[in-house]
Amino acid sequence: MGLTQKILLFASALVVALVVTSLAFTTFQANELAHFTIDQGLKETREVWDTFQADRYKQLRLGIRVLGNDPAFKAAVANREDPAVRQATVLDMLKERGQDLKADFFIATDADGVVIARSDRPGGAGEDLSQQEIVRKPLEGEESSTIWRQGDRLANAVAVPMQTGPSLVGVLVAGYGIDEALAGQIHKLTHSQIAYLVQDAGKPPRLSVSSLGPKEPALTAALARPDFPAGKGEMESFDLDLAGERYVGVTIPLRTAGGEAVGSALALRSFSEETASFRKFRDSLILVSLIVMAGGLVVAYLAARRITGPVRTLVDLVERARDGSFTGAVTVNTGDEIGVLARTFNNLMTDLRQKEQMIDFLREGMTILKKGAGSAATVSGSEVTLSATAALPAVTGGGTRKLEPGQLFATRYEILDEVGKGGMGVVYRARDRQLDEVVALKVLRGEALRDDPSLLDRFKQEIKLARKITHKNVLRTHDFGESDGVSYISMEYLEGVTLKDLIKNRGALPLGVGLSIAKQMCKGLDAAHLTGVVHRDIKPQNMLILMESGDLKIMDFGIARVSQVKGGEVSGLTSAGTVMGTPDYMPPEQAQGHPADFRSDIYSLGVVLFEAFTGTLPFTGDTLMAIIMGHLQKPPPKPRSVNPRLPIDLEAVILRCLEKDPARRFAQVEDLQEALTEVSSTVEAA
């Protein structure tokens, strides 16, 4: 699976996870809200039912008391002469007065509780109601208000005694039926479905009336099931399935005034109706999510293609680089990680191309060299010479015991041959028997140590610092010791050409070659500065370039920088008197005897860059003093005045290194390296 597909898959999984999480969270919240709303609605239904009952009883009492106290009505009830006439008269009066009170039924009984007439059932005369609670209390002289069950019908009823003086004439009963109209009114006010149930002992509850309409058969069937929650406590909620629709219900007990249970009111709330709005929102959310997901996947795919495009190019270029081709670049102009990666890789490819150009340049010089005789060949009127590692300036010295090939020195170094002589001693190629490798062995002159007794201590201190530097662009220092009174230093041994010899024999370096060398010098010097070492003798003679790899090594930390010569008028000598450093590359502050810091090395490096890209030194003279005064007083010439082919950005970099005031130079070598990298990128782009 490719990176684009992985990003697309991740984006898809992320979007799906977000949508599913959102749906799960909103569903949970909606269910919680629905349950809360249902609970509040059911409580409200109970309150509305109680209010309805109280209002019904109040209206019934007001109307029935008026009729019960009507002398004409009481006289008709008390007339016992003709039962048929009495029944007809009482029934007519009940019907007439019932229209005013709008009660669903009236019942008039005699003093014994036997029905004289009733408006709801004209043929009900003669029925004995004396044992019914609704009539029993009025027979005892008290009013009665209660729920009255007659068969499967329920009613809110009020009964009052009718008296003439102290004598009881009869009982008048009026009531409002608990019917579909009442259930409908409560449903309209509360949005709860209401069902009134009756139940006999040992039998399942039966439906009396409800507001369920078409769902009544489903409730009737549910009431007959054994799992119907008939035994739930008052206002304890339960779930009920009616024709596939989920309801949440509570039971409201219906009792007579004496506390006898005659049935119950079942208040129901549809869970589907409560969550209908949420379901619409959820469906809209799913639709929008699908649209957003589709759009997001398209955007993710395009973004993934944009992100992985440079990566694919990078992979292709890496494969080509493995095959030795360093052409091409990754074009990304962003500040994100991909942009940084692209720029870093482009800089790497630029370094490799410049390194390849330098190797070709060096091989060309070697080819010309091999056509000549001996160790040198004439090229354009100059010589190309091979130098050994850590070759010191060609100032002959004396007084040091000469070591012969095959001789064992310091019990561990087998002398192979003499490489060269320097101002401070002789350099040998030797085999370190303990390390089993070839090293450069520098044997210090005894005369130099006698002339400056503190020199040895300074060398030891500098060697301690130099040994801390571990970088591929710095020549490694192995050891410092003494043998039979002779001080020596063992170092990494490599063969190559010094930058000084390269410039002297080839002139100004090609731009790519020079930039490769410059950046390698910066890397090695930066490693030294990070350990706190100031070289103080940066010059092309101390830059060794390996012919086969093009790698550069900075050498002579703390050794070549302190040399003594006798006067002289030759440019390129190390010093005059006790001046530290090489006048051709000496920063102004060092020439004035001020302490040198990292910016001093940057100035010397600027002189080396000037020489490398122009083939000449910025300051020349017939005497050492003339050269030093140039560094102190004269502005450096512009490199493009000597080599017009140089980029203007490179000229600015070199001139900044050559500022007289250290504060105006690059603060650290890393900054100089970044500036050179920018120049390389600009050159490559051009």
Long-range contacts: 270-275, Cβ < 8 Å, 24+?
Answer: 270/193, 270/245, 270/246, 271/34, 271/38, 271/245, 271/246, 271/247, 272/245, 272/246, 273/191, 274/34, 274/37, 274/38, 275/30, 275/31, 275/34
Same domain, 170 and 212: no
Question: 146 in a domain, yes or no?
Answer: yes
CATH number at residue 532: 1.10.510.10
Question: 347 in a domain, yes or no?
Answer: no
Angle formed at CA 430 by CA 428 and CA 432, multiple of 5 degrees? 140
What predicted TM-score, i.e. pTM, was given to this entire model? 0.57
Angle formed at CA 505 by CA 502 and CA 510, multiple of 5 degrees? 60
Q: What are 27's two structure tokens?
A: 């569903």
Q: Could you read off the pLDDT of 548-592 as tens digits, one per residue?
A: 889 999 988 754 333 233 333 333 433 333 445 689 999 999 999
Question: 33 in a domain, yes or no?
Answer: no
At 581 the pLDDT is 66
Q: By three-state DSSP, how is residue 33 classified?
A: helix
Question: 483 in a domain, yes or no?
Answer: yes
3-class SS letters over 393-462: CCCCCCCCCCCCCCCEECCCEEEEEEEEEECCEEEEEEEECCCCEEEEEEEECHHHHHHCCCHHHHHHHH
Distance CA 509, CA 615 (A): 7
Tracing tokens 């100031």 back to the chain, one arrives at 534
Structural domain boundaries, residue 77: 54-175
Q: Could you read off the pLDDT of 402-420 as tens digits, one per residue?
A: 889 999 999 999 999 998 8
**pLDDT grade, residue 542 (50/70/90)?**
very high
| pLDDT surpassing 60 at residue 377 | no
| pLDDT surpassing 90 at residue 47 | yes
Q: Based on the structure, what is the number of domains in the chain?
A: 4
Number of neighbours of residue 519 by Cβ within 10 angstroms: 24
- Ramachandran sector of residue 436 (left: φ over 0; alpha: ψ -120 to 50; beta: rest): left
Residues 257-289 as b/e (b if ≥16 CB within 10 A, e otherwise) read: eeeeebbbbbbbbbbeebbeebeeebeebeeeb
Same domain, 590 and 679: yes
Please, which residues bridge with residue 175 across strands?
Answer: 105, 157
120 labelled catalytic: no
Domain end point (choices 116, 144, 175): 175
Residue pair 343/315 in contact by the 8 Å Cβ criterion: no
Catalytic residue among 104, 501, 537, 556: 537
Residue pair 116/80 in contact by the 8 Å Cβ criterion: no
- Give the DSSP H/E element, type plus range, for residue 492: strand 486-492
Q: Could you read off the pLDDT of 483-506 as tens digits, one per residue?
A: 888 888 888 899 889 999 999 999
How far, CA to CA in Å, does 636 sit from each of 17, 503, 651, 658?
A: 66, 19, 11, 7
Distance CA 256, CA 618 (A): 121
pLDDT top residue among 423 and 105: 105
Same domain, 575 and 506: yes
CATH number at residue 226: 3.30.450.20
- Ramachandran sector of residue 294 (left: φ over 0; alpha: ψ -120 to 50; beta: rest): alpha
Same domain, 545 and 679: yes
| pLDDT surpassing 50 at residue 398 | no
Domain end point (choices 474, 492, 510): 492
Average pLDDT over every residue of 664-682: 94
pLDDT top residue among 512 and 337: 512
Distance CA 50, CA 38 (A): 18
Distance CA 489, CA 420 (A): 14
Same domain, 574 and 556: yes
Same domain, 150 and 241: no
Same domain, 158 and 140: yes
Question: 616 in a domain, yes or no?
Answer: yes
Same domain, 99 and 221: no
CATH number at residue 440: 3.30.200.20
Question: 597 in a domain, yes or no?
Answer: yes
Tracing tokens 């039926």 back to the chain, one arrives at 177
Which residues lie below 8 Å from residue 398, measured CB to CB, with a gap of 6+? Answer: 445, 447
Q: By three-state DSSP, how is residue 318 classified?
A: helix
**pLDDT grade, residue 369 (50/70/90)?**
low
Percentage of the chain lying above the pLDDT 90 cut? 43
Residue pair 385/522 in contact by the 8 Å Cβ criterion: no
Q: Could you read off the pLDDT of 614-653 as tens digits, one per residue?
A: 999 999 999 999 999 999 999 999 999 999 999 999 999 9
Question: 242 in a domain, yes or no?
Answer: yes
Lowest mean pLDDT among 10-19, 40-49, 570-579: 570-579
Question: 606 in a domain, yes or no?
Answer: yes
Same domain, 460 and 555: no
Distance CA 660, CA 635 (A): 8
Distance CA 16, CA 12 (A): 6
**pLDDT grade, residue 49 (50/70/90)?**
very high
Q: What are 77's two structure tokens?
A: 């009830």
Q: By three-state DSSP, how is residue 36 classified?
A: helix
Q: Could you read off the pLDDT of 143-195 as tens digits, one per residue?
A: 999 999 988 999 999 999 999 888 899 999 999 999 999 999 999 999 999 99
Domain end point (choices 276, 309, 339): 276
Same domain, 602 and 646: yes
Tracing tokens 């019960």 back to the chain, one arrives at 68
**pLDDT grade, residue 378 (50/70/90)?**
very low
Q: What are 437's two structure tokens?
A: 């490798």
Same domain, 563 and 613: yes
Same domain, 537 and 481: no
